[in-house]
Structure 1
Amino acid sequence: MRVIVMFDLPVVEVADRKAANQFRHDLIAEGFVMMQYSVYYRIVNGLDMATKYEKRLEGYLPEKGQVRSLVLTEKQFAHMKVLVGDVSPQETNISGDSLTSL
């Protein structure tokens, strides 16, 4: 399974920029990988582990902005399509065939 985190955080004020950057660093520290700007994912071993990471993320939430999480099975994730533009090398590396061990 994969936990996908999507966020839209304000970055106009200096304090907001710092909060958004800290949230990004917290995601990376928890093992999330950037899929595209403001969209990160993490491979997990089942729904219990997905719930655990969603609860951890609640502790990192900035005061402003929106953060959404979505849990997908590998089969659902494998059906994702890139609809616009060329496929970059990074996007080809996140397919279901390239699972990393935990």
Structure 2
Amino acid sequence: MRAKRLSEYRIMWVFVFFDLPTGTPKERKAATSFRQELLKDGFTMFQYSIYMRHCASMEQAQTHLRRVKAMLPDEGEVVIMTLTDKQFGMMEHFSSRKPTDAVQLPGLFDML
């Protein structure tokens, strides 16, 4: 029963990509507020303008999608993407430009 609840295809990752203006104090405040709200909702920084959050199900992911949409700043670009844990586990992460330095990101099942 536990394996069914923890399926690699049911567990979701929500990514929020954003490019927000920061040219004025008001824009910087809005961008900072958006990042702080993401952190309060359980997102962690993946890269400077990319935040991610683990969700146990699509239903939980939808809840966080709604929350992100409710906190959208007035200006800038925001993209929200969801991946299954299986898809997330196929992602490759490079810390430099050398392909030999690729790091395979573990899915939740790889961490158990």
TM range (shorter): 0.7 to 0.9
Identity %: 40
List gaps (5 residues or longer) in structure 2: 1-11, 98-102
Q: Secondary structure at the match of 1:27?
A: helix
Cα deviation digits, residues 62-100 of structure 1 (max 9, x gap) = 1000111111011100111124607xxxxx7x632347x
Larger radius of gyration: 2
* Aligned amino acid, residue 49 of structure 1: Q
Q: Is 1:18–2:21 an aligned residue pair?
A: no
**Structure 1 segments of 4+ aligned residues over 4 angstroms from their partners:** none
Q: Tell me which residue corresponds to 1:79.
A: 90
User: 1:85-96 counterparts in 2 under 5 A?
Assistant: 85=96, 95-96=106-107
Quick check: 1:36 aligned with 2:47?
yes
Please identify which structure carries the higher strand content: 2
Taking structure 1 as the reference length, the TM-score comes to 0.83
Please provide the CA RMSD for this pair. 2.0
TM-score normalised per structure 2: 0.76
Q: Distance in 1 between matches of 2:64 and 2:78?
A: 14
Aligned twin of 2:5: none
Matched, 1:59 2:70: yes
How has the CA–CA distance of structure 1 residues 11 and 98 changed in structure 2, closer, same or farther, with 3 Å as cutoff?
A: farther
Q: Residues of 1 paired with 2:68 and 2:26: CA distance? A: 20
Q: Which runs of 5+ in 1 are unaligned?
A: 87-91
Q: Which has the higher contact order (CA 8 A, sep 6+)?
A: 1
- Where 1:7 maps in the other structure, the secondary structure is strand
What amino acid maps onto 1:61 in structure 2?
L
Q: Secondary structure at the match of 1:31?
A: coil
